[in-house]
Amino acid sequence: MTKPFATVLEASTSLNNKTGSWRTKRPEYVQSASPCNVVCPAGEDIRLWLALVKAGKFYEAWKIITKDNPFPAAMGRICYHTCEKICNRESFDGAVNISAIERSIGDMAIDQAWGFENVTVNSGKNVLVVGGGPSGLAAAYFLRMLGHDVTVYENHLKAGGMMRYGVPRYRLSRCVLDAEIKRIENIGVKIVCQKKITDINAEIDDFDAIYLAMGAHKASQTGVEIKNKPNIIDAVDLFKKVEDDFTNFLNLGNRVFVYGGGNTAIDAARTALRLGASVKIIYRRTIHQMPAHTAEVNEALAEGIEILCLRTISCIDGSKVFVNKMNYDEEYDILTPSGKTEILHADSVIFAIGQSVDVNVLHGAKNIKISEKGTIEIDKNMTTGIPSVFAGGDVVSEKRTVTNAIGHAKKAAGCIDAYLRNTTPPLDIRSEVTNLKKLNVAYFKKSAKITAPEWQNISFEERNISYSKKELMTEASRCFSCGSCFHCDNCYGYCPDNAITKRANGDLEINYNYCKGCGICATECPCGAIKMVSND
């Protein structure tokens, strides 16, 4: 007796039946941008470095951060983390605490003295960076990593720009800032402090390219009438004085008023508080309309700073501050003087109503155009009217954040490098954003955000401390990995046709011989990394 015909079959002979021919749509693995990456002015690949942190690969994570930002420790502290506001996890159970993780990784790098890799290739080109603030230093770093010689001219006593002279030290420890600047110097960037350029034309011939990043350090003019030598200080000057002469405690007196509603006003008020004053902020609109970040406003209130809203200062006469009370019509969003006034008594008044760019340095360079708003005009490649002169950071933008400045630096460095090598500047391509709709959050369990521990004292010491390694990994593991496969294996495990192949290294590949195009893989992908496309 022999094996029966047809009714008995060997195992797995169905592999001869290529069911892929049934398909009308086909799945494809895609990597689309995460919202955090898209909104990050520095363009950090947050999703990637969070994945590395989650895996306990802290050094690798730091390397990824510093590809886009040489100041993780500083930025983790002071960046306004738009990434967290747009984080897809926000509506689920609270955004990933990206800034705290970045800061902790940055601190770890300082503790463990991680440095940038030495630059091995040298282009022989010489670039001047005017201004040692975040944009200038970051540009210097990027340019140096690209192989160019870089010199930074810094006007102030120390490099750091607004990171030093705009952000009080209780928000950013100077040890941290110094360490991160030092790391840039370590790769061969020359920083020359207290070097004030008077005429940019004089430098053009000495350098192959120039990046203008002087920032906006000039206090804006106010319409306040000043009489009888009152004690008035501009916030920019206050910070500079406190910073350059920290040990010599500045005395503002007891009654201090801060005029303004932005972050600078809050920082100035909290600095004054730390100098021993009783501080009140005067702001002309309502508290909800303050441009300052809410978190900072709340912190200021918590520290005992009073905010006097719907008030403008008309005149300061000696210690008398004349204030006009305003009416706000919520329906029409109109602010009108109420006719009521009050007189306050101040030992000092700090003006914090904005800064502008000091354009005197550009007087000789006629081709560099200044906009009506007082910023330097640049083209899409960050170039001014002079081909070898580029500009970025606060000098070109009214969106004056440190992250934005770093983002400019990265882009400018790419453009300068292209200019020096006579190549095309890198294109700024951003793929489709992975919004919440593209995710399948059924695979994520609710887990509350880990808040970084805080000190409650009011001093120039930092309030926050870093995460432990365990906290770091746990918090990083909350990342949805929007738009990028994190090897959850759902597609592999759920395919009813076993049409996804898993390689030895865990990589997945769609086997179109058998894929029937049902789309389960795409639906069950937690992070939107599979797309169904028409089967042309």
Positions that interact with other proteins (CB under 8 A): 1-19, 22, 54-55, 442-445, 447, 474, 477-478, 487-490, 492-499, 502-504, 506, 511, 513-514, 516-520, 522-524, 526, 532
3-state secondary structure 464-476: ECCCCHHHHHHHH
Contacts of 128 (CB under 8 A, 6+ apart): 150, 151, 152, 153, 203, 206, 207, 209, 210, 211
Least Å from the CB of residue 452 to other proteins:
19
Q: How far is the CB of 513 from other proteins (least distance, A)?
A: 7
Q: Which lies closer to other proteins via its Cβ, residue 91 or residue 194?
A: 91
Write down the least CB distance from residue 438 to other proteins, Å.
13
The nearer residue to other proteins, 185 or 497, going by C-beta atoms, is: 497
The encoded tokens of residue 146 equal: 């690209």
Strands 355-356 and 218-219: antiparallel
* Minimum CB distance to other proteins smaller for 225 or for 509: 509
Integer Cα distance of 424 and 408 in angstroms: 17
Rounded Cα gap, residues 513 and 536, in angstroms: 15
- In the complex with other proteins, the residue whose CB is nearer, 254 or 513, is 513
Provide, rounded to whole angstroms, the least separation between the CB of residue 354 and other proteins.
44
Cα angle for residues 308, 313, 319 (degrees, 5° grid): 95
Minimum CB distance to other proteins, residue 87 (Å):
15
Nearer to other proteins, 19 or 231 (CB): 19
Q: Which residues of 250-281 are buried (b: 16+ CB within 10 A; e: fewer)?
A: eebeebbbbbbbbbbbbbbbbbbbbbebebbb
Pairing of strands 149-153, 190-192: parallel
User: How many C-beta atoms lie closer than 10 Å to residue 246's C-beta?
Assistant: 12
Return the number of the residue (421 or 470) whose C-beta is nearest other proteins: 470
Cβ at position 26, least distance to other proteins in Å: 12
R_g (Cα) of the chain, nearest Å: 28
> Shortest gap between Cβ of 12 and other proteins (angstroms)?
5
Nearer to other proteins, 273 or 491 (CB): 491
Least distance CB 494 / other proteins (angstroms): 6
CB atoms within 10 A of CB 333: 9
Q: What are phi and psi of 209, to 5 degrees?
A: -155, 155
Nearer to other proteins, 364 or 493 (CB): 493
